[in-house]
Amino acid sequence: MGKALEQLKVTEKKTVAVGQKMDLVFYTLQMGLFDLDFDLISKCIDKAKKLFEKGGDWERKNRLKVYEGLFCMSTRNFKKAADLFLDSISTFTTYELFPYDTFIFYTVLTSIITLDRVSLKQKVVDAPEILTVIGKIPYLSEFMNSLYECQYKSFFSAFAGLMEHIKLDRYLQPHFRYYMREVRTVVYSQFLESYKSVTIEAMAKAFGVSEDFIDLELSRFIAAGKLHCKIDKVAGVLETNRPDAKNALYQATIKQGDFLLNRIQKLSRVIDL
């Protein structure tokens, strides 16, 4: 790989056209993704963006979105990865990385843990490009639709089927446990959003698991600050305590105001000196 990179650099020095320079960057990106050399990938993406400032066609710009999306997904920036993948659904041509089915697989997985319910419906659940392909990927359609339709037993069943697929993926496998936690956070939050209080028994039945399992699961997520609820073990009830959005905004404004005042005071001292 080292010799190949050296030859690409030599070729780049002799190349004038922006489009051809971009192709050399794409070749380097492919080698970086093969070795999962994230430092090399990051530098190449920055280099490609600078080249596009000098010119470049839309086809190559759209290809770069997929490369950057794959880099973001591989470095656990699922939000940006989902945005880039969704922007590329109708213009996907990056078959040198993976087939379109795999691209849709990545798009759905990253979108489910990053998009709100309304955006998920508009951009993913109803997207014609996704609907034409999703049935070819085992468990993916059930995974997406059961979450949106609040069919939690079906969701967990489909999720169990997808787990092996995720484990075998070279880009997702390092984030397997993290992704599992994020998905469960999304689905538990969606369920609890509908209730001010609900019994542990009712939630366990909805998910098709035991009460002990739900109790252990939720206690971990609550302790980690992932879920806004508390468990009344004596009464066997879950009570939601979702934070008030206005109060959270008020607290954030106060913190930002304090930070700004401190900066102004420090600046005034420097000016006085």
Number of independent structural domains in the chain? 2
What is the pLDDT averaged over residues 179-193?
A: 88
pLDDT digits (tens, 9 = 90+) for 35-91: 888 888 888 888 888 877 776 677 888 888 999 999 999 999 999 999 999 999 988
Residue 116 and residue 201 in one domain: no
Assigned domain for 23 exists? no
Show the domain range for 216.
Answer: 195-242
User: 149-153: long-range contacts (C-beta < 8 A, 24 or more apart)?
Assistant: 150/190, 150/191, 152/187, 152/191, 152/206, 152/207, 152/208, 153/206, 153/207, 153/208
pLDDT higher than threshold 80 for residue 245: no
pLDDT of 5 reads 61
What is the spatial distance between Cα 112 and Cα 189, in angstroms, rounded to a whole number?
13
Please give the pLDDT value at position 231. Answer: 81
Among 78, 107, 75, 77, residue whose Cα is nearest residue 90: 107
**176 vs 125: CA distance, rounded Å:** 23
Q: Are residues 106 and 184 in the same domain?
A: yes
Q: Tell whether 22 is covered by a domain.
A: no
- Are 120 and 171 members of one domain? yes
For residues 81 and 226, the model is more confident at 81
Give residue 25's pLDDT. 79
Using the predicted structure, report yes or no on whether residue 179 has a pLDDT greater than 70. yes
Element (H, E) at 230: strand 229-232
Query: 112-140, pLDDT tens digit by residue?
Result: 999 988 899 999 999 999 999 998 999 99
